[in-house]
Structure 1
Amino acid sequence: MSHDTTPPVTTGGVAPFWKAAILCRCPRCGEGRLFRGLLDVAPACTACGLDLSGQDSGDGPAVLGIFVLGAIAMVGAFLVEFRLAPPLWVHAVIWPVLLIPAAIVMMRGAKAALIWLQWRHRRGEGV
């Protein structure tokens, strides 16, 4: 039993990586919305009808967010603490307000990027 490793062939080509990842669009046509909420993948593309129900990015976007935003938060917290020396409550107010929206935006982009990569390389269960 052999698996075809060629990329999916479509009449419209493959959407550019940046369009799929940054704008959270369909990996095939680049037009339909990838998400039907904040982080829920739509069941199908509204433009080309691509079935997105089997797409699962797993824990990859969360790990990326932890590494990137964690590093940014630590550097920022150290800079604020050692340069300004504010009371502790300032940290408790500033960092959640900055990091929660940044984490959501980063998760959407990372999830869209991983779904694009999975679709482009025909990743699926047991493949």
Structure 2
Amino acid sequence: MINYEWRGKFDNAEVNGLHAEGFGGGLRDDDWWGQVNGHSLGWVCARERGELVGFVNVAWDGGVHAFVLDTLAAKKVQRRGVGTKLIATATEHAKVAGCEWLHVDFDEHLREFYFDSCGFRPTPAGLIRLE
């Protein structure tokens, strides 16, 4: 059984490990706890038998716009609805907080997940790569 918790407690090492697994690039030592507490509306932790198996960050503009970032599900729980439930939980809490819009951007291979599984709709948007 997987439990989902809005603004759940986590250890930085747990999210760094999950992030490395999901996005590659090697294990980092980022201060996730400090980042989300300082800049986010909230986040969702998914745990199976105490182990962090899913995570999503919900940043916001302090008003009506929230932004889904870093949706992660451990490989061993993928295709079990964990990502979809993470987004559903984030959506519910962003709405309760008074947000009117939930934004996401993603790589093309995740299009089906966000549009078909999570209910996002395509919109015109722009992006400038700063790197």
Q: TM-score range by the shorter chain?
A: under 0.3
Higher relative contact order (CA 8 A, sep 6+): 1
More strand by share: 2
The two structures have a TM-score, normalised by structure 1, of: 0.24
Larger radius of gyration: 1
